[in-house]
């Protein structure tokens, strides 16, 4: 592993800021820039070929980055990707763990928006990696016509130890901002007839589980007596999805103005949205169903998060319950009903993704096992310690890696000593001193935080 450390020195060290007792863990890290010139990198994954695989959301291409010198090779550009707004384009990527190992499973899977039969849709496409040419060939669509919209798309992909594909789909922004007159379907489940017709319209606000050919696994949960691709439901905008030890699946999810969630995702569970944000605690959140406004039609109303007309039906968290409800294992952050959003600002970090740290021998002392949560509206990463069995959070999240960047995704070197973080090209974040800024330190890059402390 010495070669990685030597390469890091060649790339040069850049100081980054840390302050306060909360950031003391930062002292054991130095910041470098592995590569720049990426166009909205969205997914970065450490591949079985020891390259970092990157999706560039707006450039519509998969790029492989050499972690030794930061050089880049484009594996494929996908021309049919549609990219018009802040959340669409080429999104998730999952590299088969057997790629290049001689088993024949030389596959990479990507999720992206494209023009479907009825407008913008999401699909998952499989490619085969040509190890001689270093390109992705033989495109094969494993599932198409999934919901897509201009907000809350989800789009994160993961392969489980069970050799199934997992895909997050957001709630498409129903009842929120520009989509306030669209119903929110995160609690809606498909009928047997819809599944038969391959009508995936109710897959909004779900985590899906697919066979590698796109078919429905026989052991997926039966929900209201119907088996579909749905693995879990009641999600808002899950953009982080990662497998920890022993096959535990974790997701991060954007909250509304509070209550970004870290969830342990289990088969058939209901994660509560839109009736519940975070815990079912009745604090600082009420579900307003703008789309059901009457007698005034929703289209005659002006959306507001603070002034809700009486014609809009409301539902408190306390008035809702469900036998399969599963609360988050942690929130970032929960505030009380007296919290003044106008004066104090939103209590979210905008969690763009999720990593899990499991390295024991030779890794960062005390970090196994932790969830690593990159923030966009906060230029920080948060580390959440997990319990020994991985089923709960221990203590509060620790803030790390404070810079003026919008952190988008995380990859971890197999030796556990370098954390790679992809950054957005533009946008707002909370800078080093806590002020909002649009001047970003490392736009469109992969930055690396190298652990310099004792093992």
CA distances from 6 to 2, 3, 365 (A): 6, 5, 22
Query: Active site residue: 152, 235, 254, 450, which one?
Result: 152
Q: How far is the CB of 14 from Ca ion (least distance, A)?
A: 37
Q: Which is nearer to Ca ion, 264 or 440 (CB)?
A: 264
Q: Which is nearer to Ca ion, 283 or 291 (CB)?
A: 283
Residues 6+ apart with CB under 8 A from 388: none
Angle value at C-alpha 270, between 269 and 272, nearest 5 degrees: 155
Reply yes or no on whether 229 is catalytic: no
User: From the CB of 223, what's the least distance to Ca ion, in Å?
Assistant: 17
Q: Which is nearer to Ca ion, 147 or 272 (CB)?
A: 272
Q: Which is nearer to Ca ion, 240 or 272 (CB)?
A: 272
Tell me the C-alpha distance between 160 and 330, whole Å. Answer: 22
Q: State the minimum distance, in angstroms, from the CB of residue 344 to Ca ion.
A: 17
Q: For residues 272 and 375, which CB has a smaller minimum distance to Ca ion in the complex?
A: 272
Taking residue 341's Cβ as centre, other Cβ atoms within 10 Å add up to 14
Strand-pair partners of 109: 94, 126
Point out which residues pair with 168 in neighbouring strands.
207
Would you call 325 exposed, middle or buried from its count of C-beta atoms within 10 A (0-12, 13-18, 19+)?
middle
113: region left, alpha or beta (phi > 0 left; psi from -120 to 50 alpha): beta
**Least separation, in Å, of the C-beta of 179 and Ca ion?**
19
Listed residue (382, 277, 394) closest to 329, CA to CA:
394
- Which stretches of the chain bind Ca ion, using CB under 5 A? 271-272, 277-279, 281, 285
CB of 339 to Ca ion, least distance (A): 12
- Separation of alpha carbons 60 and 62, rounded Å: 7
Q: Which is nearer to Ca ion, 82 or 265 (CB)?
A: 265
CB of 235 to Ca ion, least distance (A): 7
Three-state DSSP at 25 gives helix
Give dist(CA 441, CA 430) in Å, integer.
12
Where does residue 3 rank: exposed (0-12), middle (13-18), buried (19+ CB within 10 A)?
exposed
> CA end-to-end span of the chain, whole Å?
14
Round to whole Å and give the CA distance between 437 and 345. Answer: 15
Other C-beta atoms lying within 10 Å of the C-beta of residue 327:
16
Report the catalytic residues. 152
């Amino acid at each position: 592993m010495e070669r990685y450390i030597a390469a890091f020195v060649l790339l040069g060290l850049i100081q980054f800021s840390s302050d306060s007792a909360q950031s003391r863990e930062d002292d054991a890290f130095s910041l470098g820039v592995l590569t720049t010139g990426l166009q909205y990198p969205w997914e970065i994954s450490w591949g079985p070929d020891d390259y970092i695989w990157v999706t560039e959301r707006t450039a519509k291409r998969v790029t492989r980055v050499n972690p030794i010198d930061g050089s880049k090779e484009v594996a494929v550009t996908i021309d049919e990707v549609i990219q018009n707004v802040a959340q669409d384009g080429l999104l998730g990527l999952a590299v088969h763990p057997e790629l290049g190992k001689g088993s024949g499973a030389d596959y990479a899977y990507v999720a992206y928006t494209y023009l479907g039969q009825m407008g913008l849709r999401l699909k998952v496409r499989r490619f085969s990696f040509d190890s001689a040419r270093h390109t992705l060939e033989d495109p094969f669509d494993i599932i198409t016509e999934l919901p897509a919209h201009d907000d809350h798309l989800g789009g994160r992909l993961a392969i489980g130890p069970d050799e199934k594909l997992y895909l997050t789909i957001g709630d498409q922004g129903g009842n929120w901002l520009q989509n306030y007159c669209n119903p929110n379907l995160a609690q809606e489940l498909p009928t047997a007839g819809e599944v038969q017709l391959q009508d995936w319209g109710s897959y909004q606000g779900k985590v899906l589980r697919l066979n590698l050919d796109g078919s429905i696994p026989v052991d997926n949960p039966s929900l209201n007596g119907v088996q579909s691709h749905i693995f879990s439901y009641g999600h808002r905008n899950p953009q982080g999805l990662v497998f920890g030890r022993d096959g535990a699946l974790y997701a991060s999810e954007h909250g509304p103005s509070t209550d970004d969630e870290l969830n342990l995702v289990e088969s058939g569970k209901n994660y509560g949205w839109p009736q519940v944000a975070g815990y079912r605690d009745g604090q600082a959140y009420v579900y307003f169903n703008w789309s059901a406004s009457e007698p005034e039609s929703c289209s005659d109303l002006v959306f507001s998060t603070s002034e809700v007309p009486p014609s809009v039906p409301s539902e408190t968290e306390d008035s809702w319950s469900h036998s399969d409800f599963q609360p988050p294992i942690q929130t970032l952050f929960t505030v009380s009903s007296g919290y003044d959003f106008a004066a104090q600002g939103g209590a979210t970090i905008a969690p763009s993704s999720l990593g899990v740290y499991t390295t024991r021998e030779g890794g960062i002392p005390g970090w196994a096992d932790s969830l690593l949560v990159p923030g966009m509206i906060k230029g920080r990463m948060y580390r959440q310690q997990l319990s020994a069995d991985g089923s709960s959070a221990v203590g509060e999240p620790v803030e790390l890696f404070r810079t003026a960047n919008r952190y988008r995704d995380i990859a971890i070197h197999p030796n556990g000593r370098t954390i790679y973080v992809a950054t957005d090209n533009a946008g707002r974040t909370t800078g080093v001193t806590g002020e909002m800024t649009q001047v970003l330190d490392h736009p469109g890059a992969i930055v690396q935080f190298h652990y310099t402390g004792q093992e």
